Amino acid sequence: MDTDADTLRPEIALSWRRSELSGLTPASSLDTFTVADYDRRSRLVVAADPVLDEAARELAGTAFSLVLADRDAWIVDRRYGARQAESVLDSIGAVPGRRFTEETTGTNSIATVFELRRGLSVHGNEHFIESLKQFACYGHPITHPVTHRLEGVLDITCPATQDNPLLAPFLRRAVVDIEQRLLEGSRAAEQRMLAAYQAAAPGRSRAVLMLGEDVVLANAVATDLLDAADHAVLRGIAMDAPFGVRQAREVELSSGRVAAVSFERITGASGVLFELDLSERRPIPRRSRPAEPDLAGCRAQRVNVLISGEPGTGRSTAARELAGDEPVKVLDAAEAGPWPPDALTAEGLLVVENIHLLSEALAARIASTMDQRWVVVTSPPVADLTGSAADLASRCIVRRELTPLRARRDELPGLVTGMLGRLGVRNTLRFAPRTLETLAAQDWPGNLRELYALVSHVVRTRRVGDVLPQDLPESYQGSPRARQLSPIEQLEHDAIIAALHACGGNKAHAAKRLGISRSTLHRRVRSLGI
**pLDDT given at position 5:** 58
Q: Are residues 242 and 314 in the same domain?
A: no
In a domain, 193, yes or no: no
Q: Are residues 410 and 389 in the same domain?
A: no
CATH number of the domain at 165, please.
3.30.450.40
Q: Are residues 337 and 269 in the same domain?
A: no
> CA-CA distance, 484 to 234, in Å (whole number)?
9
What pTM was estimated for this model as a whole? 0.51
Q: Is 321 left (phi over 0), alpha (psi -120 to 50) or beta?
A: alpha
> CA-CA distance, 483 to 166, in Å (whole number)?
41
CATH number of the domain at 310, please.
3.40.50.300
Q: Are residues 470 and 430 in the same domain?
A: yes
**Containing domain of residue 332, as a range?**
295-401
> Of 243, 277, 311, which residue is a domain's last?
277
> Of 141, 160, 185, which residue is a domain's last?
185
Identity at 343, one-letter amino acid code: A
> CA-CA distance, 320 to 342, in Å (whole number)?
20
CATH number of the domain at 213, please.
3.30.450.20
DSSP lists the bridge partners of residue 375 as: 350
**pLDDT given at position 287:** 42
In a domain, 191, yes or no: no
Nearest by Cα to 305 from 365, 173, 393: 393
Identity at 78, one-letter amino acid code: R
Q: Are residues 75 and 154 in the same domain?
A: yes
Could you give the dihedral angle defined by the CA atoms of residues 236, 237, 242 and 247, in that order, rounded to the nearest 10 degrees? Answer: 180
Q: Are residues 395 and 409 in the same domain?
A: no
In a domain, 190, yes or no: no
Q: Are residues 181 and 48 in the same domain?
A: yes
Q: Are residues 53 and 143 in the same domain?
A: yes
Q: Are residues 397 and 409 in the same domain?
A: no
Q: Are residues 12 and 61 in the same domain?
A: yes
Q: Are residues 461 and 505 in the same domain?
A: no
> Of 359, 385, 401, which residue is a domain's last?
401
Cα 386 to chain center, whole Å? 31
| Mean pLDDT per 10-residue segment, the chain (530 residues) | 67 93 89 76 88 93 94 92 87 90 93 93 94 94 87 94 88 94 82 86 80 81 80 75 80 82 82 82 45 65 89 89 84 78 77 90 88 88 88 89 82 87 88 82 87 93 85 75 56 78 79 76 71
In a domain, 289, yes or no: no
> CA-CA distance, 392 to 38, in Å (whole number)?
55
Contacts of 346 (CB under 8 A, 6+ apart): 327, 329
Characterize the bridge pairing of strands 375-379 and 272-277.
unpaired
**pLDDT given at position 205:** 74
In a domain, 287, yes or no: no
**pLDDT given at position 60:** 92
The length of the chain in residues reads: 530
CATH number of the domain at 412, please.
1.10.8.60
Cα 291 to chain center, whole Å? 29
Three-class SS string for 349-386? Answer: EEEEECHHHCCHHHHHHHHHHHCCCCEEEEECCHHHCC
In a domain, 192, yes or no: no
Domain count, the chain: 5
In a domain, 283, yes or no: no
In a domain, 196, yes or no: no
Q: Are residues 383 and 260 in the same domain?
A: no
CATH number of the domain at 501, please.
1.10.10.60
> CA-CA distance, 136 to 121, in Å (whole number)?
8
